Structure 1
Amino acid sequence: MQFDKGQSIEQLTLLSLKPRKRRNILRSVIRSVSKQSRRRITRQQDLTGKQWQGRANGKKKKMLTKLKKLMKVRFGPNNAHAYFKGRKTGKIAAAHQQGASFDVTPSKRSGKQSKQGMATRGIAKALIAAGYKIPRNRGKGTKRPSIKWITENLTLNQAGFLLKELKGGSGKSKWQIDLPARSFLGETKKEHKQHMSFILNKAMQVA
């Protein structure tokens, strides 16, 4: 939240105040933005009010709840913003906020189940495209498994190993995971209007 001269009547009014008064008003606004952003995480809703896309493995556990505790705010006489404690946390938050695509390779651990959990939809699709088959329940022969079957029956490491074998066993197998955007940080149009009204009212009171 940055304020520069000439942008709006609310901002011009705010900029006419003494630094301490501006700081107090911006503090209230950024705390409201942070509170509303945390509320969206609790409700699992994006900035348009729609429910977030669910987890790829189908689990119903709420997402991004740890980010609520790591969200902080900074404010001064000319600007205010929310941020996350730790660079890694900030990158995770940005990836979820905007959506992202990244490559994954299987862990080299052996004899232990990967901490990364079950196979994702991304590697399931890659396995099917590479020709992975499973035995039929009845009768002879094999069949192509469903994405659901793979994500429920293979760990990420197992799926990665199978994919590598299907591709000839040479080099590191990798697959792309697409992380859908799950926006939460910021203001809706309604919230922005309320904040601008709050700024103008407070600025006029102390002007």
Structure 2
Amino acid sequence: MSLKITPNAAQALDLKTQLTLLQLPANKRTRILKTLGRYERAQARARIKRQQALEGGSFTPRANGKKGKMLKRLGRTLEPYVKNADRLELKHKNALTGRIAALQQEGGEETMTASKMRRIHGQPDYDAPASRAQAKALSAEGYKVRKKKGGWRRASIREIQDTLTVGKAGVILRSMRDSKSQQRWNIPVPARPFLGDYTTNVQRELMQIIQQVQKRG
């Protein structure tokens, strides 16, 4: 995902700003756009630090309930690129990171496979306590335990985590769903727009940078 700004994009810049930029030599336009890119990168990193989307609301939380900060690595590897002295792109050098950033920015679905999960997270410890995601899935399927005085009751998420291992929870879940172990599945990813800016902000910052560059000569 990249933030793209061009001097001749009427929808992005007003006429005065376009003409001012286009009248400058290529080396100055490059310097100005690169400086603007560093400013926009700082804004994107600040949003990630605050865990706040472009519009001001908080990022949509993780589905698994984990509270750690999201998108931290995406801010670290964001870089400004200027092409032909008239196009600024704020993007990631690594193509895979760029695709991940685009998915987080716009939302969508990520296709996951068993082999990809092992590459990302390593071989699971089947003897470890059941994960919260497994417990929530079992609870949603209606997993029950015996009552002390006979009969059955629905188990709590905490109880499932305390009494089942990763391996056992996986076996029970597959049995309840009456399905074989999935080798490919889609994970919905909510949009968390951290990249971008409003036209008025871009124009104000750009004119300040232009004035600074022109003063230095």
Fold match (TM-score > 0.5):
yes
Instruction: Tell me the residue number matched to 1:84.
Output: 92
CA distance change for structure 1 residues 156 and 72 in 2, over 3 Å: closer, same or farther? farther
| Corresponding position: 1:71 with 2:92 | no
TM-aligned CA deviation for residue 143 of structure 1: 3.1
Maintained 8 Å contact 1:30/1:81: yes
Instruction: Tell me the residue number matched to 1:26.
Output: 33
Give matches, 1:13-52, under 5 Å: 13-52=20-59
CA distance change for structure 1 residues 175 and 85 in 2, over 3 Å: closer, same or farther? same
TM-aligned CA deviation for residue 89 of structure 1: 1.3
Aligned AA (2:87): N
Maintained 8 Å contact 2:111/2:186: yes
Q: Which moved more, 1:15-24 or 1:196-205?
A: 196-205
| Corresponding position: 1:166 with 2:164 | no
Q: Which moved more, 1:32-41 or 1:178-187?
A: 178-187
Which runs of 5 or more residues in structure 1 are unaligned? none
What's the TM-score, normalizing by structure 2? 0.71
| Corresponding position: 1:124 with 2:136 | yes
| Corresponding position: 1:93 with 2:106 | no
Partner Cα separation in structure 1 for residue 147 and residue 43 of structure 2: 50
- Measured against aligned partners, the alpha-carbon deviations of 1:169-189 in whole angstroms (never above 9, x if no partner) come to 446377653222211112145
Partner Cα separation in structure 1 for residue 29 and residue 89 of structure 2: 14
TM-aligned CA deviation for residue 23 of structure 1: 0.9
CA distance change for structure 1 residues 45 and 80 in 2, over 3 Å: closer, same or farther? same
Maintained 8 Å contact 1:47/1:183: yes
Q: CA RMSD in A?
A: 3.8
Q: Which moved more, 1:156-165 or 1:178-187?
A: 156-165
Partner Cα separation in structure 1 for residue 94 and residue 159 of structure 2: 35
Aligned AA (2:100): I
Which runs of 5 or more residues in structure 2 are unaligned? none
Maintained 8 Å contact 2:7/2:18: yes
The correspondence for 1:180, drawn from 180, 185, 190, is 190
Q: Percent identity?
A: 29
Aligned AA (1:133): Y
TM-aligned CA deviation for residue 42 of structure 1: 0.8
The correspondence for 2:67, drawn from 35, 60, 68, is 60
Instruction: Tell me the residue number matched to 2:8.
Output: 5
Instruction: Tell me the residue number matched to 2:143.
Output: 133
TM-aligned CA deviation for residue 103 of structure 1: 5.1
Maintained 8 Å contact 1:120/1:151: no
Maintained 8 Å contact 1:119/1:150: no
Q: How many residues align?
A: 202
CA distance change for structure 1 residues 137 and 26 in 2, over 3 Å: closer, same or farther? farther
CA distance change for structure 1 residues 174 and 145 in 2, over 3 Å: closer, same or farther? farther
